[in-house]
Amino acid sequence: MGRLFGTDGVRGIANADLTAEMALGLSVAAAGVLSGDSAGDGRPTAVVGRDPRASGEFLEAAVVAGLASAGVNVVRVGILPTPAVAYLTGALDAAFGVMLSASHNPMPDNGIKFFARGGHKLADALEDRIEAAYHAHAAGEPWDRPVGAGVGRVTEYGAGADDYVTHLVGALPNRLDGLKIVIDTAHGAAALVAPGAFARAGAEVVAIGADPDGLNINEGCGSTHLEPLRAAVVEHGADLGIAVDGDADRCLAVDAAGRDIDGDQILAVLGVAMREAGTLREDTVVATVMSNLGLSLAMEREGLRLLQTSVGDRYVLEEMRRGGYALGGEQSGHVIVTDHATTGDGTLTGLLLAARVADTGRTLADLGTVMERLPQVLINVPDVDKARVGRSPELADAVTDAERQLGATGRVLLRPSGTEPLVRVMVEAADAAQARAVASGLADAVKSALG
C-alpha cells in the first residue's frame, strides 16, 4: 500500500483519488493525532480554509463534518491562501489547521494539507500517525464518537482576510509608494487578498488572473504560466510583475521588460537585503539541490553561506528551524521568511521583493544581476514508474554517462515528483545546447527504463 502523504499533503483527482469519504476519514484521524491541548470549553479548535476549486466545496464539507464528529470545534475561514491558513492557525491559537488545495496542480486535482499548532507543517512522523489511524479506522477499528454536547461546533470567521493582509503589510520594512505593479493571482486563493495587500502598502496595482470561478484556477496564468504577466507588465508600463500559484504559497516575478525573475534570484535579492538589514541570521540562505549553480556562486561572492536540502519546501523549513535561519526557499518560488511566516508565502515574498525595489530605487532587473543563472534544463517525464528511479541499473548507467559528458562544469539530478505522477530530469551545464542534449537523452532513458 503506497503512502498517502506526498511532499505536500495528500493530493489526487478530486472525487476519484481524493474522495469525500477519504477527506472525512483523514480529518477524523488528524483530530485524534493533532488535537493536543483543549480549548477553553474542553474541545480543541481547527482552522479550515480552501482555494476556490469547485471540488473544494464538497471536500471542505467532508472535512468539517469529520472534525466536528470527532469533537473538534471548526473555524471556517473560507477561500484564503495556504500561508493565510497557516498564519491564522497560529494567530487564533488553534490546535491545528486544514487547507484544501492542490496548489499549482490543474483544476481537477485537489489536496488536503494539515498544519500543527502554530501553523507549522507536519513532520513525517505525525503524517505517518495520521495515515496509520486513517487505515485503522477504514479497516473497522472503532474511534471515540462524542455525542450530545460533546460534538464539535462550526463557526465562520469573516475577519481572516483582513487579519492576514494587516499581518503582511506590517511585515514590510518600507512602503511601496511610487511603484506600479501587476499582480497575477492565478484565479486562485489570493485573488481577494494579494491585490489589496499591495495597494494597502502604497503600490498602484493592476490585477490579472483575479476572477476565480471554481474551474479556471492555474489555467494559463499564475506562476506556472508567466506569459500573461509578461505581456501585462509591458502593456501597462509597470515597474515589475508578481505571479503566485493557486494557493499562493509560491511567487515568481518579471522585471519591467517582462524578463523572468525566478525563485533563486528572489532568494539572492532578499538575502542581500536581509544581510544589509541585519536580519539574515548566520548570514545563511537555505535552498534545495534543484537551485541553480548560479545561486551558490552569487552567495559565495556576497560572503553568504548557502545550505542545500532535499527538494521540497518542507525540507527547507526543517533545516531553517534546525539552524534558526531566517531565509530559505526553492527555485520554483517557495520562499520562506521565518520572521513573518511558517511556510512559503507568495504574497509576502512579492511584497518584500517590491519593498527592496522601492527602498533602493533600483530596477528589479538591476537587482537581479546579483545572480547569473547558468543554463538549466528541466524535463518532466510522465507515465513512468517513479518509485523505481533509484533501483534501475539501466537508468544508473545513463546518469553516469551523462555526468561523464558534463564533467566538472555541470550536474544531473533525477527526482520523482512528490505531488504528480512523473519523474523530473534536471541538467545544468555551462553551455545551453549541451544541457538540452543531455537532458533529452536522459528523458529518453527514463522512459525506456521506467515506462
Q: Is 247 marked as binding a ligand?
A: yes
Whether residue 103 lies in the annotated active site:
yes
Please state, in angstroms and rounded to a whole number, the distance separating the CA atoms of residues 293 and 298: 9
Which one is catalytic: 103, 223, 332, 392? 103
* Phi-psi group of 222: left, alpha or beta (phi > 0 → left; psi -120 to 50 → alpha; rest → beta): left
Q: Annotated binding residue at 35?
A: no
Q: Does the annotation place 103 within a ligand binding site?
A: yes
Q: Is 366 marked within a binding site?
A: no
Neighbours of 123 (CB within 10 A): 12
CB 28 within 8 A of CB 66: yes
Choose among 282, 265, 417: nearest CA to 338.
282
Count Cα neighbours of 321 within 13 Å in the Cβ-side half-sphere.
Answer: 13
What CA–CA distances, in Å, run from 338 to 162, 317, 324, 367? Answer: 21, 9, 9, 22
Residues recognised as catalytic:
103
Q: Annotated binding site for Mg(2+), which residues? A: 103, 245, 247, 249
